[in-house]
């Protein structure tokens, strides 16, 4: 660490990915037990900003630096988002993939708690507090911009009691990555993330015994669930979000052929945000494990979605395939080295050479210490094909692959 790597900045300039080495001022006001650590969660950021301390020190050799603020780009047709916190974009690569996975795991925990609280308020008929959502979307945008695969792959892991909340995080991360692939403007990318985060808020008005029912729904129950887009649209009426976010909430179950609900809209009559949300929503839903069904492998899910003619906007779906790749993030693959691995990040130069987390040796039929391998950086190993997820129980995959990251649950 060189002396010129240590920089004094104002606490308001702090953002995720910075390596905090101390506060300038009364140390009793320091909100953390240790002041030397990588700032990796929205909670820590909030605590630091709430400390009342004006300045702090960061080490730019161990974390992100203060980046220049990018000039705002205008967006035709995009509604402004109120109270958006403008943070400078995080330089790509400021965190390693390993660090980003840790960051994403903590971000998932924070997001789950915040979304749980928002749903609880909405369940009581209160106006959804969407103020924290803009800050959360900013954190998610920065994570996805650094390493899109980290949050997308971690948010696929859902537990019975948190499906709805983690589904919101997953769809948010997928929407941000999709907006980026579609080269939407920075404000539109944030609108997309917010649409993903809030698209199912109307489910807060659906009785929990129906929402979490482990068996198939009766016709009446299904009719009740199908009202959630309209409930959500209503709940966001005074929520301080733009019309395009409310539109995405209302129409994310419409289909291009007009066979969706609630208004049987068709084609381009469905807003772009709603068409994008439809793709991300269905992909995450069918690849997630539920109490009554096992999630599909991401590669199978994509081919099924391509085969459902009339359901999705083909242009949006093509861009989405670019996001998740040939061996989609989260899919189980077999390596030439006879290891099983999970894809954690795509490599844009070669979709057949993603970054993977290897955790199982096929030859010895034993678990091996989880190892992150960037296949674009080695000639010795490569993916030889997709592997059937039924080969290993989901619990084993989760334990071996992400268990370390989820230890704090």
Binding stretches for Fe ion (CB under 5 A): 200
Please state the closest distance from residue 229 (CB atom) to Fe ion, in A: 6
Sign of CA dihedral 349, 351, 357, 362: negative
Please state the closest distance from residue 138 (CB atom) to Fe ion, in A: 24
Q: Closer to Fe ion at the Cβ: 186 or 200?
A: 200
Please state the closest distance from residue 336 (CB atom) to Fe ion, in A: 40
Asked if residue 172 lies in contact with residue 277, where contact means CB atoms within 8 angstroms, the answer is: no
Please state the closest distance from residue 331 (CB atom) to Fe ion, in A: 24
Please state the closest distance from residue 160 (CB atom) to Fe ion, in A: 18
Q: Closer to Fe ion at the Cβ: 139 or 200?
A: 200
Residue with nearest beta carbon to Fe ion? 200
Please state the closest distance from residue 259 (CB atom) to Fe ion, in A: 16
Dist CA 105 CA 402 (whole Å): 9
Give the Å distances, CA to CA, from 226 to 120, 156, 252.
Answer: 20, 23, 11
Q: Closer to Fe ion at the Cβ: 153 or 164?
A: 164
Q: Closer to Fe ion at the Cβ: 179 or 282?
A: 282
Q: Closer to Fe ion at the Cβ: 200 or 254?
A: 200
Any residues with CB less than 8 A from the CB of 372 and at least 6 apart, and which?
97, 98, 344, 355, 356, 357
Please state the closest distance from residue 199 (CB atom) to Fe ion, in A: 6
Dist CA 381 CA 260 (whole Å): 45
Please state the closest distance from residue 232 (CB atom) to Fe ion, in A: 8
Q: Closer to Fe ion at the Cβ: 279 or 340?
A: 279
Q: Closer to Fe ion at the Cβ: 110 or 277?
A: 277
Q: Closer to Fe ion at the Cβ: 119 or 360?
A: 119
């Amino acid at each position: 660490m060189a002396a010129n790597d240590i920089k004094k900045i104002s606490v308001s300039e702090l953002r995720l990915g910075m390596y905090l080495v101390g506060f300038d001022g009364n140390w009793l006001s320091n909100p953390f037990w240790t002041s030397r650590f990588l700032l990796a969660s929205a909670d820590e950021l909030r605590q630091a900003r709430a400390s009342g301390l004006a300045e702090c020190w960061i080490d730019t050799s161990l974390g992100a630096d203060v980046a220049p603020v990018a000039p705002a780009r205008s967006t035709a047709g995009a509604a402004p988002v109120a109270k958006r916190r403008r943070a400078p974009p995080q330089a790509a690569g400021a965190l390693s993939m390993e660090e980003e996975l840790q960051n994403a795991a903590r971000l998932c925990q924070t997001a789950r708690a915040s979304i749980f609280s928002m749903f609880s308020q909405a369940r009581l008929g209160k106006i959804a507090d969407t103020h924290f959502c803009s800050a959360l979307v900013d954190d998610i945008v920065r994570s996805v911009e650094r390493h899109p695969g980290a949050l997308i792959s971690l948010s696929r892991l859902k537990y019975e009691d948190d499906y709805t909340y983690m589904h919101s995080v997953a769809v948010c991360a997928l929407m941000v990555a999709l907006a980026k692939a579609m080269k939407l403007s920075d404000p539109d990318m944030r609108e997309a993330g917010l649409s993903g985060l809030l698209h199912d808020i109307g489910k807060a008005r659906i009785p929990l015994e129906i929402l979490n029912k482990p068996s198939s729904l009766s016709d009446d129950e299904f009719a009740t669930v199908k009202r959630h887009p309209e409930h959500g649209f209503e709940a966001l009426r005074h929520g301080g979000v733009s019309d395009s976010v409310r539109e995405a909430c209302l129409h994310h179950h419409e289909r291009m052929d007009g066979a969706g609900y609630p208004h049987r809209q068709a084609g381009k009559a469905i807003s772009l945000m709603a068409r994008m949300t439809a793709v991300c929503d269905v992909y995450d839903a069918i690849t997630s494990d539920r109490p009554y069904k096992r999630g599909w492998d991401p590669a199978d899910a994509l081919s099924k979605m391509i085969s459902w003619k009339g359901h999705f906007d083909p242009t949006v779906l093509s861009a989405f395939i670019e996001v998740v790749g040939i061996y989609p993030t989260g899919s189980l693959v077999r390596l030439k080295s006879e290891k099983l691995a999970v894809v954690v990040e795509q490599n844009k130069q070669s979709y057949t050479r993603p970054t993977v987390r290897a955790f199982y040796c096929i030859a010895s039929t034993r678990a091996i210490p989880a190892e992150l391998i960037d296949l674009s950086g080695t000639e010795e190993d490569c993916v030889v094909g997709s592997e059937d997820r039924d080969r290993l129980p989901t619990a084993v995959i989760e334990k071996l692959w992400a268990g370390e990251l989820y230890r704090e649950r």
